[in-house]
Amino acid sequence: MGCNKRCGLLTMAIIGAVLAILGGVLIPVGNYFVKKTIKREAVIEKGTIAYQNWVIPGSPIYRQFWIFDVQNPEDVMENGSAPILKQKGPYTYRMRYKPKENITEHFDNTLSYFQPKIIRFEPEMSIGSENDTVTTVNLAVVAAPVLFKSGLVQAFMNIWMKSSKSNFLQTRSVKELLWGYRDPFLMEIPMAKVTKFVGVFYPYNETLDGPYQIYSGKDDLTKKGSILTYNNSRTVKYWKSYCSMVNGTDAASFHPFVNKSEVLRFFSSDICRSIFANFESEQIVKDIPLYRFVIPASAFASPVSNPDNVCFCTDKDISSNCTLGGMLDISSCKAGKPVYISLPHFLHASKEFFQYVEGLNPNEEEHKTFLDVEPITGFTLHFAKRLQINLLVRPNPKIAALKNIKHHFVFPILWLNETAIISNEKADIFRSKVTNKIKLLNFLQLALMIIGSVIFLVFLVASFLCKGKSPK
């Protein structure tokens, strides 16, 4: 009788051990099926989730603009005083809502395509209308002397500027400043080859970016989404050495099974270069666990702080012999126009850039660029790309509109926040297909191991106690 009771207890202990072992076995088995599913759906080919979200983003993408309005224009133009800036915005546009064009699948498991550049004003998400006006630097007046350095040509420029009543600063509507306007000074220039239109993003709407050629990930999932060529080249012509390489993805997605120790690399045609992001923190977005990667200060740092940036230093005068950081000269990418890129409000820029402008207030949380990546699939489900566009201003005694400027300086025009977050509908689908299944699997694994271990220990101890009480 005692033996039967003890045998029953031992049987239950064995059952508990089996449950615990089963829970442990489910870990590699479950991981295998998770990886198999992810590998199938993460490849960029027709019929997969990755392909659907690649052709056209599953969540709306918006670009918000804050434009710097000069508060003391007369003092700036007459006395060369530092412009006092006040940001005005946001003015919000929806973008990338059209599918990629000319998609071609190649035999080497790559795809090529063009990305349409398309924008649509969103008045309900904006502080005002596109007809709101701002006072800012005169794009044509500042850029023309840089593009045409001949003293004789500049003398004629001075005449044309005076004739058109063009000054160092101008007042334009938001729409004109962003997307283009017919400039009165440029209209005076008799040369037919000189474009008469100018704007921060002119030309943009209804144009195409690319072609891009990317890896589908079919033969090697670690390459999924990585750009093989941009404009049919592995490099861009704007930089020397390794700085010219096109590295990483377009940041919309990365390879599956991203880990925190990785450096995520991506290419942005907006800044004409590849850049990188490092892990910062774990985030929960719509009940989906994500890894937040942030572009660090070192990405725009001077070569003194980050020697890898030495080939991004192109103007030793403006950068004080490559010792100043936080500013990227992309003039070679903008047909010679003196355009400089920084983080908003000169975040992480050297203090020297703050000397000749007032009103900037950099804030890490508000002005940093981040990507919230779902680590299992590699999809970017939430991001904020923040950049500031500036124009380099130089004194020029030959041109009346520029003669009162006392020192060269970088003039902030606007900063933008390109952002998207997974929609509620897409989040529900993602949770049901990925997150909830993994949570259920993990819960089942843990429950089996805990319950099995408890049963094993309880009944094993009980069997020993039963043995001690049995009659001799």
Percent of the chain at pLDDT > 70 equals 82
Using one digit for the tens of pLDDT, what is the confidence trace for 409-424?
999 999 999 999 988 8
pLDDT value of position 29: 46
* 374: pLDDT strictly greater than 50: yes
Band the pLDDT of 195: cuts 50, 70, 90. confident
Secondary element (H or E) of residue 465? helix 436-469
pLDDT value of position 22: 46
* 461: pLDDT strictly greater than 90: no
Band the pLDDT of 350: cuts 50, 70, 90. very high
pLDDT value of position 377: 86
Is the CB of residue 264 less than 8 Å from the CB of residue 254?
yes
Here the tokens at position 255 are 């390879």
* 17: pLDDT strictly greater than 50: no
pLDDT value of position 459: 45
Is the CB of residue 91 less than 8 Å from the CB of residue 127?
yes
DSSP state of 429: H
User: Which residue reads 């990305």 in tokens?
Assistant: 115
E-only strand ranges, 295-408: 328-329, 339-342, 370-373, 380-393
Task: Identify the residue with better confidence: 345 or 153.
Answer: 345
Task: Identify the residue with better confidence: 42 or 325.
Answer: 325
* 36: pLDDT strictly greater than 80: no
Query: 3-state class of 120 per DSSP?
Result: strand
Mean pLDDT in residue range 323-336: 93
Q: CA dist 328 to 306, 318, 394, Å?
A: 14, 11, 17
pLDDT value of position 4: 60
Lowest-pLDDT choice from 48-57, 150-159, 207-216: 48-57
User: What is d(CA 324, CA 307) in angstroms, rounded to the nearest whole number?
Assistant: 12
Percent of the chain at pLDDT > 90 equals 66
Which of 84, 180, 186 has its CA nearest to residue 136?
84
Cβ-based neighbour number of residue 365 at 10 Å: 6
CA 155 to chain centre: 42
pLDDT value of position 141: 95
Contacts 24+ apart (CB under 8 A), 184-189: 185/138, 185/140, 185/141, 185/144, 185/157, 185/160, 185/161, 186/140, 186/144, 188/160, 188/161, 188/163, 188/164, 189/157, 189/160
* 27: pLDDT strictly greater than 50: no
Which of 397, 337, 411 has its CA nearest to residue 67?
411
User: What is d(CA 1, CA 22) in angstroms, rounded to the nearest whole number?
Assistant: 31
Mean predicted lDDT score pLDDT of the chain: 86
CA angle, 126 then 131 then 137, to 5°: 100
Lowest-pLDDT choice from 23-32, 132-141, 259-268, 376-385: 23-32
User: Which residue reads 């997605």 in tokens?
Assistant: 253
Lowest-pLDDT choice from 1-15, 111-125, 274-288, 360-374: 1-15
Is the CB of residue 261 less than 8 Å from the CB of residue 279?
yes
pLDDT value of position 174: 98
* 333: pLDDT strictly greater than 70: yes
Identify the burial level of 364 via C-beta atoms within 10 angstroms of its C-beta, where 0-12 means exposed, 13-18 middle and 19 or more buried.
Answer: exposed
* 108: pLDDT strictly greater than 60: yes
What is the DSSP annotation of 392-416? Answer: EE---TTSGGGTT--S-EEEEEEEE
User: What is d(CA 472, CA 468) in angstroms, rounded to the nearest whole number?
Assistant: 10
Q: Which residues pair with 289 in a beta bridge?
A: 284
Query: 3-state class of 294 per DSSP?
Result: strand
Q: Tell which phi-psi region holds residue 368, choosing left (phi > 0), alpha (psi between -120 and 50) or beta.
A: beta
Band the pLDDT of 315: cuts 50, 70, 90. confident
Lowest-pLDDT choice from 312-316, 344-348, 355-359, 434-438: 434-438
User: What is d(CA 254, CA 376) in angstroms, rounded to the nearest whole number?
Assistant: 10
* 427: pLDDT strictly greater than 90: no
